[in-house]
Structure 1
Amino acid sequence: MKLTVYLSGEIHTDWRDEIARGIAEKDLQVTLTSPNTDHASSDDCGDEILGTEATPFWKDHKAAKINALRTRKLISDADIVVVRFGDKYKQWNAAFDAGYAAALGKSLIVQHDPALTHPLKEVDAAAMAVCETPQQIVEILSYISRN
């Protein structure tokens, strides 16, 4: 079974690489997509493409809209959306992606530390699976990919 999986969430660890390695090791037919994970280029794309803004609000506003073009397309095209919440920063954008995916009726897998269970209870309730590790995500993808 061929799957397209969108990987949303924190950008400060190598969790996406761990999933990619696990998929390769199991020889799964899974295509991974994600938002722009280069923080600087994601933050600066509005200024770089449309011109510099004088205030942070408008700089962020333009960048968020340009990034949303990518995010909406890739989430819409995904068979499964994985959203990872790290413990270092609040990932409001990841929560938004989870809600958007749920609104589209996409299958959702959430990954986070058990310490975040309470603050993420609504997001977890929308998910088909809640995991603690990237390896568990690979195992789920392997299980559902079996013929």
Structure 2
Amino acid sequence: MTSPAVTLWTAALCKQDPGYGGWAFVRKTDGESGAATIKGAAGGERRTSPARMSLSAVIEALTSLSDLPPDTPVTLRFADPALAGELVASDGAYATAEPEAWAAARALVAARPVLNLVPLATSAPQTGFLAAWAEFGLDTSKSRGSFKAAIPKPNLMKFPA
């Protein structure tokens, strides 16, 4: 039996001073019968950084794969243009600015031997969907503090996968 293919999309944003941030991810799993399942989440934090939000999106997306074998083929499409380089740099800006989040993201990447990292174009339709949910995370964190919530199924049905 072959493992299903999985595609993850991530995006994050952060407004400096006072440092509110949001992130979002969507996971699409292609089933054996041709049917796909889709799920996603968004969240946000206060007093955060762009690096932390980008890494949080990756951490949450890769953590969502815990129900799948480690050798499941995964494509991670990310809106942060610096992310792939930062995940492989041992002393990059993200490792320096957010060492705990960077270490957690690196460990999750290392646990997935079949992981393809692909930048997501700013003009891609998925980028707008994810940016809207990351902004929701940012706005909600202003009043609620740190949080994470599932993206409702009716909204996910509009995801341009």
Looking at secondary structure, tell me which structure has more helix per residue: 1
TM-score (norm 2): 0.31
Looking at secondary structure, tell me which structure has more strand per residue: 2
Structure number, greater radius of gyration: 1
TM-score (norm 1): 0.32
